[in-house]
């Protein structure tokens, strides 16, 4: 029996961790074991942007993120990520882990196997407010989970500030247990029979099920900022709706096709950059800009 890896980026024994444990109890009801990673107990450093990973397939930073990424993105498991909302989006622990994915893409992504979405995932978002102050949390957790998992369920627990406050929110606790069951149950099905079973809002992206829209140019054209699925706002029988592009849903940003396209694009960009940086003009300008300006320190 495969297991679930639960990643909490909240406080030790905090609300994310409690909800994740409740989801683990739900999964255990179906006989699926969950192992929990508590990111705040580990060393998590942000990416320094050195791009060494693109050439060596390794990260130069010495911390625990490589291990976290192997557990969450490479191993053949279900995945549940629980993150608190900090300043409207997933907290820096999760964002730091997510932005360190590049060397995993380089190493494991070559044959696109980690992008194939044959594994499933769930998302738990925790905030102390209602939706007005958590608008980007589900969306930013999705930015991590969508790379490697087919999303089965996602939930938001609101109005939990102090550590453990979520324990008084019966509905959120019950919902987390259901989420664990949903992920475990999906793991037992052939992947082509797995469906998203979470609650959808009236407008949602058919890929990540988030309801935040990006307008690239002019209405009525809209895009999901997570998956880059395009759509068009239409009026049908007096009702405003979005008609989503079906090809984009299949070949979205996180599909094997989309991931490969982006990796190839990055390769091409590196080559163009390298050619430019060899020129005398670039060397002269770089010298000028590195000498210019007043850098201040504390």
What residues line the site for ligand FMN (CB under 6 A)?
10-11, 14-17, 84-88, 126-129, 133-134, 160-161, 163
Q: How far is the CB of 128 from ligand FMN (least distance, A)?
A: 4
Nearer to ligand FMN, 158 or 207 (CB): 158
Q: How far apart are CA 7 and CA 37, in angstroms?
A: 5
Helices (H) and strands (E) in the chain, counts: 10, 9
Q: How far is the CB of 282 from ligand FMN (least distance, A)?
A: 40
Nearer to ligand FMN, 17 or 248 (CB): 17
Q: How far is the CB of 13 from ligand FMN (least distance, A)?
A: 8
Q: How far is the CB of 9 from ligand FMN (least distance, A)?
A: 8
For 146, half-sphere exposure in the C-beta direction (CA atoms, 13 angstrom radius) is 24
| CB atoms closer than 10 angstroms to residue 294 | 4
User: Which residue number has the CB closest to ligand FMN?
Assistant: 10
For 211, half-sphere exposure in the C-beta direction (CA atoms, 13 angstrom radius) is 11
What phi, psi does 234 have (nearest 5°)?
-130, 160
Q: How far is the CB of 287 from ligand FMN (least distance, A)?
A: 40
Q: How far is the CB of 159 from ligand FMN (least distance, A)?
A: 8
Q: State in Å, rounded, how far the first CA of the chain is from the last one.
A: 53
Contacts of 91 (CB under 8 A, 6+ apart): 9, 10, 83, 84, 85
158's tokens: 């609101």
Q: Which DSSP category does 216 fall into?
A: S
Nearer to ligand FMN, 153 or 156 (CB): 156
Nearer to ligand FMN, 85 or 143 (CB): 85
Nearer to ligand FMN, 98 or 187 (CB): 98
Pick from 108, 86, 105: nearest CA to 40 = 86
Nearer to ligand FMN, 132 or 288 (CB): 132
């Amino acid at each position: 029996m495969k297991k679930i890896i639960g990643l909490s980026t909240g406080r030790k024994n905090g609300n994310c961790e409690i909800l994740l444990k409740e989801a683990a109890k739900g999964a255990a009801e179906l006989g699926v074991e969950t192992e929990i990673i508590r990111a705040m107990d580990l060393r998590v450093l942000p990416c320094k942007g050195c791009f060494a990973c693109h050439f060596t397939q390794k990260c130069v930073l010495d911390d625990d993120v490589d291990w976290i990424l192997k557990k969450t993105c490479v191993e053949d498991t279900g995945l549940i990520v629980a993150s608190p909302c900090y300043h409207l989006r997933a907290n820096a622990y999760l964002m730091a882990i997510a932005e360190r994915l590049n060397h995993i893409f380089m190493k494991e992504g070559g044959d696109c196997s980690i992008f194939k979405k044959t594994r499933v995932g769930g998302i738990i978002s925790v905030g102390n407010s209602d939706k007005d102050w958590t608008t980007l949390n589900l969306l930013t957790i999705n930015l991590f989970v969508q790379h490697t998992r087919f999303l089965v369920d996602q939930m938001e627990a609101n109005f939990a500030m102090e550590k453990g406050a979520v324990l008084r929110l019966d509905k959120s606790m019950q919902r987390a247990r259901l989420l664990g069951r949903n992920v475990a149950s999906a793991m037992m099905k052939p992947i082509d029979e797995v469906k998203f079973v979470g609650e959808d809002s009236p407008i949602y992206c058919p890929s990540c099920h988030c309801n935040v829209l990006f307008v690239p140019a002019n209405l009525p054209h809209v895009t999901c900022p997570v998956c880059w699925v395009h759509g068009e706002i239409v009026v049908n029988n007096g009702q405003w709706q979005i008609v989503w592009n079906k090809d984009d849903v299949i070949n979205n940003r996180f599909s094997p096709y989309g991931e490969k396209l982006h990796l190839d694009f990055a390769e091409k960009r590196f080559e163009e950059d390298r050619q430019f940086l060899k020129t005398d003009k670039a060397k002269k300008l770089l010298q000028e800009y590195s000498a210019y300006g007043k850098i201040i320190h504390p």
